[in-house]
Copies of this chain bind each other. A is one copy, B any other.
């Protein structure tokens, strides 16, 4: 569902990747089809663009069903202190794209990011004449086809990348696994727009001492108040071998009474605790 009403003339979203990247699709879903975008080379550049006021929003991937959490972006969220104000998921679906006039039977080289190439192995096994050719970016490989016009070449990227760079889709949905979804966060320095009747989620990170039962006690703060957790993940804190950093999603808003009391209780036993934001997901 695109949220058309959110797009004002000044709405601009930074994301990592070229125009037509999956983050671009997420930005359109979160902010509306007409959103203006600022493609950035690295995740940090998207955070910095928002912090410096060059854009009104940033859109970042936070986890993928096949590849797990993008830990780097949890670190960026803590470092830049910009709140999460929205969330959505995108199904990652790969298209074989070529410039108009190229027929599938003529294609020999297929360009894309290695992660995308590796998600289409059955397609390459079924078409052994095709050579997987690593490129920097999925959408960027279609942009390269347009600019450099290599012969007998195609790229693997999103449908949006085909549209943006004038490519033709030769084969649709060539990914091995249909259960490939990426979850994105919307960031903005202003607060979240409220939508009536849509449930809230809250994301926070905290660290606790690595002693028996420490995590259990942390969980108790929520369980004893009936607050439901929808994600929990631990990672070791390098250089501090006895401490773990946890990221946690819960059902509710940080200002809800039960949630606020749970977090207050949790803060009694954590060495660091940061609320990264409360937001209403867009399905």
A: residues with CB less than 8 A from B are 42, 63, 65-72, 113-114, 118, 121, 132, 134-136, 179, 181, 210-213, 215-217, 219-220, 222-223, 226-236, 238-239, 244
A209 CB to nearest chain B CB (Å): 11
**Across the interface, which residues of B come within 8 angstroms of A244, CB to CB?**
230
27 CB < 8 A contacts A-B: A65-B71, A65-B236, A65-B238, A66-B71, A66-B72, A67-B72, A68-B69, A68-B235, A69-B69, A114-B114, A114-B134, A134-B136, A179-B239, A181-B238, A212-B223, A212-B227, A213-B226, A213-B228, A215-B229, A216-B216, A216-B219, A216-B220, A216-B222, A217-B223, A231-B234, A232-B232, A233-B234
**Nearest 6 interchain pairs by C-beta:** A216-B223, A179-B238, A134-B134, A212-B228, A68-B68, A213-B223
- Give the contacting residue for A228; candidates B67, B121, B211; CB below 8 A: B211
**Across the interface, which residues of B come within 8 angstroms of A219, CB to CB?**
215-216, 219
**Across the interface, which residues of B come within 8 angstroms of A114, CB to CB?**
113-114, 134, 136
**Across the interface, which residues of B come within 8 angstroms of A135, CB to CB?**
134
Which residue of chain B is the closest to A65 with respect to CB atoms? B238
**Across the interface, which residues of B come within 8 angstroms of A223, CB to CB?**
212-213, 216-217
**Candidate in A113, A114, A132, A211 with the most chain B CB atoms within 10 angstroms:** A114
**Across the interface, which residues of B come within 8 angstroms of A229, CB to CB?**
215
Which residue of chain B is the closest to A226 with respect to CB atoms? B212
What is the CA–CA distance of A171 and B151 in the complex, to the nearest angstrom?
37
Q: A134-B114, A232-B215, A233-B233 are in contact. Are A71 and B72 (CB under 8 A)?
A: no
**Across the interface, which residues of B come within 8 angstroms of A222, CB to CB?**
216
**Across the interface, which residues of B come within 8 angstroms of A216, CB to CB?**
216, 219-220, 222-223
What is the CA–CA distance of A72 and B177 in the complex, to the nearest angstrom?
12
**Across the interface, which residues of B come within 8 angstroms of A66, CB to CB?**
71-72
Known: A67-B68, A68-B235, A134-B135. 8 other contacts (CB 8 A): A66-B72, A67-B70, A114-B114, A114-B136, A132-B136, A134-B136, A179-B238, A210-B228
Which residue of chain B is the closest to A69 with respect to CB atoms? B68
A243 CB to nearest chain B CB (Å): 12
What is the CA–CA distance of A226 and B181 in the complex, to the nearest angstrom?
37
**Across the interface, which residues of B come within 8 angstroms of A212, CB to CB?**
223, 226-228
**Across the interface, which residues of B come within 8 angstroms of A226, CB to CB?**
212-213
